Structure 1
Amino acid sequence: MGKPFEGTRWTKWITGFRLNGIAYGGCIDNKKVFAAVGDGGILLTSSDGTKWATKTLRSSLRVDNLKAAACGGGLFVVVGDNDAIFTYQDGEWRSPYQMTIGSGMTLNASLRGVAYGSVARHHGQEIRFFAAVGAVAAAGDSGVVFTSSDGVTWKVNHPSSSPSLFGIANGKDLFVAVGKNGAIFTSLDMANWTKQTSGTKEDLHGVAYGGNLFVAVGKNGAILISPDGVNWQGGTSKRPKSLHAVTYSEDHSAFVAVGQDGTVLASSDGITWEELYSEAGEMLYGVACGEGRCVAVGDGIILTST
């Protein structure tokens, strides 16, 4: 069992940046860091969630709005608008997607979520992928999935009848993507995607896996849980605020969700949720946990638990 959140205090930091996502992991110079991304290509990194280094990522001469980040396989991957994919390799941030497919072959996809994890084993060997999800405006905002086994070479997949996709997570050798109008798609091989029944028409903005459970959150306080990514049922939050992101804290053995008006919720089972914080006022778009603390980011602010 992890340490409960009782007595946890949150410190609010004013940044002046709109931050859309955050991830935690040991993928930058072999150091464990929080990496927050935002509009204008902004990237903030911190080892403790209190002191932050600032950098701007550019794709060629263009500065992209960055939406999400993930750590895995020794790599940090950041995604965003206009096909933006950046990977931290050999001490620097690179844009491998542009280099892989060549100039003039972009989809102009808006990528909103990224995750790293394994799929079903082939001949006893575990295969791991990065998967980024989003939408292509030119195709009527249809859903799109970018996949890569190395963070450098990326393939594009359009799940059949998928609307815009906003979030993705991995657990039990399964990728789960969520999106507009309650859409949930799952894949065991990163090539074939199966549409699941969510039981809601609310937009689902984020999904996470931990403690043998998937949790998806979304508009108007929508919360769904599933033990297998296939069968879903609803949880209950105290306030019907829209939720934009969810993560699992190993240190607290709990899910943490953030969203509208600075709302921060926590749950050990995905069913009953406790409000941890609601004083920021600003919208929160991302959350990550590590080293005993959680960090939430949003419209010009960072919240750090202590």
Structure 2
Amino acid sequence: MHLRDPAQVEVPAVSSRSFSRSVVASAVALLSVVLAACGANAGSGDWYYHFACNGDYECLTTNALGTTSGTIDVGPRESDCRSLELFAEKFWGPAAWNTCDQNPTYTPPGQGTPSITSVSPSAAVPGTQVTITGTNFPTSPGDVTLDIGGVTVPTTAGISTTSTTITFTIPNIASLSGPITVHTPGGTATSAGSLTILDSLHSVAWSGTKFLAVGDYGTALTSADGVHWATQVTGVNPLIVSLTSAAWSGSSFLAGGTNGYLLSSPDGVTWTLPAQGLGMMAFNGIASSGSQFVAAGSQGAIARSTDGSSWTASLNYPSDLYNAIVWANGQFVLTGYAILTSPDGVTWTTRVPQATPYYAIAWSGTTFAAVGAGGAVRTSPDGVTWTVRTSGTASNLRGVTWFKGQFVAVGDGGTVLTSPDGITWTARTSGISTNLNAIAASATTAVAVGKAGVTVSSSDGIGWTSLLPPPPTGVSGTHEVGQSTITWSPVAGATSYVVYVSTSGSVSKTSYFKRVTSAGTSATVTGLNSQGWWYAIVTAVNAYGEGAPSAAAPICVGTYICG
């Protein structure tokens, strides 16, 4: 059998996928001739056209077999099979499925047992689109449900499917990690690797035996060493509660969050929820004197409790936002746009009037240090008299603690500073460029947490270790017109890579022309239609997130003489 090439097949112009009777008749006649011709040319090297209508009216009306699905032997020419694919593309609806191969048997998508070959990316923040690649997926999204580590992915994830791919958007849920399981009418399939959801972490506390880190969408993580973390279930509704503060009371963990939530746990694993939230405020800091618990946050909110379970909240103290609180030197010291002190959590005295916001505060045993916006630092020997200091950075400083004879402050862009007295500060290298939001320390380890689930740890506050992968090396690119194939050296532990390309040498993860992901150590970037110099950076991704970018590699694209 021989059909004309696809370019020669005349297809009547239509404004939609609805057929006139004459078009339907012509289509059926064409396919009938094709089928009759094919039947006389069966052979071992033949091509086969498989289709499944999946309820599509045009497919049911115009396929020559008159069935809901089937296979046609089109003979030895692949182009004849592709002609039928072209016809289906022009006239059949999106529900219909068809393919060409040299296998005389097939199973319609969704009717056989599915399989998963890859999941990309393997780690991402909520809002990221994930693609599952495999076989035998239903073409109707309604026939697919997904779970990650046993947690069902909400239908709001916007699942879309083809016979070989499933795409969905990571919803706003607490951090977790586990294999993806695809459930279809034909069966289930579970990925070999895990997908890790990385929510931003806002606070961290040390109990004496473990760290607790809390963050977006009710996320709570615990760790004995600050390196290996376990996900815990807090029980809050992730759509309305993000956890913004954590503290150890001496007998239990306390966690504060949005919508007035204050939670408690003896171990960071089993959580007790309040009967209801205390209002619309977010509690950003919690401290305990031993007999009195005080939480403070937005809207000038201050809440008090004698047991960490039953709380009474008041609003509109002399600040519209409080960020941190500490009990030290016989008093509560509260920072925000102002700095206040109180001996009992009831009566407050303003020590520094509203001005620069201070995000964190720590006590060394002799000195308070408060850090804040634009690198702001103030110190005080008693919480009453405060002196402005110079930090040497313009980055926002969001966390500070006392560790091994020094203050250690962390902030935006991976900033880390140390100071023996709160007066003289030295910049340290964290190894990351991700914002760090908080820091806590045990006797041996300091742990900082931040955006996109990042955690870094240090044994001395000077040298820092991150679980994020290091930047790739050896980045280079080819010089084809309109595109370039970027290559780089592999990074240990990386599960995927991201390539960013721009016409600017200052290309970054937030400023680029084209972004491409790759499971291997090369990627072809198209759309580089301006001949001349382009620049590429590459990042590695592992289960903990995306690492720092490589050095920018210049690439001369096209025939332009780049000089």
Indicate the TM-score class for this superposition, using the shorter chain for normalisation.
0.7 to 0.9
Q: Is the 8 A contact 1:12 1:280 kept in 2?
A: no
Shift of 1:276: 4.7
Question: Which of these residues, 205, 229, 234, is aligned with residue 422 of structure 2?
Answer: 229
Distance 1:156 1:22 in 2: 24
Aligned equivalents of 2:389, 2:404: Cα separation in 1: 21
Secondary structure of the residue aligned to 2:284 is strand
More strand by share: 1
Partner of 2:78: none
**3-state SS of the aligned residue for 2:249?**
strand
- Contact preservation (8 Å) 2:445, 2:458: yes
- State the 1:191 CA deviation: 2.2
- Among 271, 282, 289, the residue aligned to 2:462: 271
TM-score by length of 1: 0.73
CA contact 1:248–1:255 (8 Å) conserved in 2: yes
- Give the stretch that moved more between structures: 167-176 or 5-14: 5-14
User: Contact 1:159 / 1:193 at 8 angstroms: preserved in 2?
Assistant: no
Corresponding residue for 1:92?
Answer: 310
Query: Larger deviation: 49-58 or 79-88?
Result: 49-58
Quick check: 1:185–1:196 contact (8 Å CA) kept in 2?
A: yes
CA gap of 1:212–1:196, structure 2 versus 1, over 3 A, is same
3-state DSSP class of the match of 1:109? coil
Of 158, 162, 167, the match for 2:352: 158
Confirm whether residue 168 of structure 1 aligns to residue 386 of structure 2: no
RMSD: 2.7
* CA separation of 1:129 and 1:57: change in aligned 2, threshold 3 A: farther
Q: Give 1:189 deviation, angstroms.
A: 2.5
Sort the Cα spacing of 1:279 and 1:40 in 2 relative to 1 into closer, same or farther, 3 A: farther
> Residues of 2 paired with 1:230 and 1:201: CA distance?
16
Alignment partner, residue 53 of structure 1:
272
Rounded Cα–Cα distance in structure 2 between residues aligned with 1:6 and 1:244: 19
- Alpha-carbon spacing, 1:199–1:57, altered in 2? closer, same or farther (3 Å): same
Look up the match of 2:445: 254
The 8 Å contact of residues 226 and 445 in structure 2, kept in 1 or not, is answered as no
Question: How far did 1:182 drift?
Answer: 0.1
Per-residue deviation, residues 181-216 of structure 1 (Å, max 9, x unmatched):
000001112222101110000000111113222111
Residues 156 and 6 (structure 1), Cα distance of their counterparts in 2 relative to 1, 3 Å cut: closer
- State the partner residue of 1:22: 246
- For 1:71 and 1:266, the matched residues in 2 are separated by 26
Q: Which residue of 1 aligns with 2:230?
A: 11
**2:332 aligned residue (127, 130, 141):** 130
Structure 1 residues 106 and 33: alpha-carbon distance in aligned structure 2, compared to 1, 3 A threshold: closer
Q: Which amino acid in the other structure matches residue 344 of structure 2?
A: D
SS at 2:374's partner residue?
helix
Gaps of 5+ in 1: 27-31, 99-104, 119-127, 136-143, 283-306
Provide the C-alpha distance between the structure 2 equivalents of 1:57 and 1:176, rounded to a whole number of angstroms: 32
Task: State the partner residue of 1:35.
Answer: 254
Decide which moves more: 10-19 or 148-157: 10-19
Give the TM-score taking structure 2 as reference length.
0.41
- What are structure 2's unaligned runs of at least 5 residues? 1-208, 211-222, 469-541, 547-563
Q: CA deviation at 1:281?
A: 5.9
Matches of 1:57 and 1:193 in 2, distance apart? 35
Q: Please say if residues 83 and 106 of structure 1, whose CA atoms lie closer than 8 Å, have aligned partners that are also in contact.
A: yes
Letter in 1 for 2:302: I
What is the aligned partner in structure 1 of residue 323 from structure 2? 112
Report 1 or 2 for greater relative contact order, CA contacts < 8 Å, sequence distance ≥ 6: 1
Residue identity in the other structure for 1:273:
W
Look up the SS of the partner of 2:413 in the other structure. Answer: helix
Greater Rg by CA: 2
User: Cα distance, 1:76 vs. partner?
Assistant: 2.0
- Amino acid of the residue matched to residue 407 of structure 2? F
Contact persistence 1:261–1:279 (CA under 8 A): no
2:373 to 164, 180, 183: 180
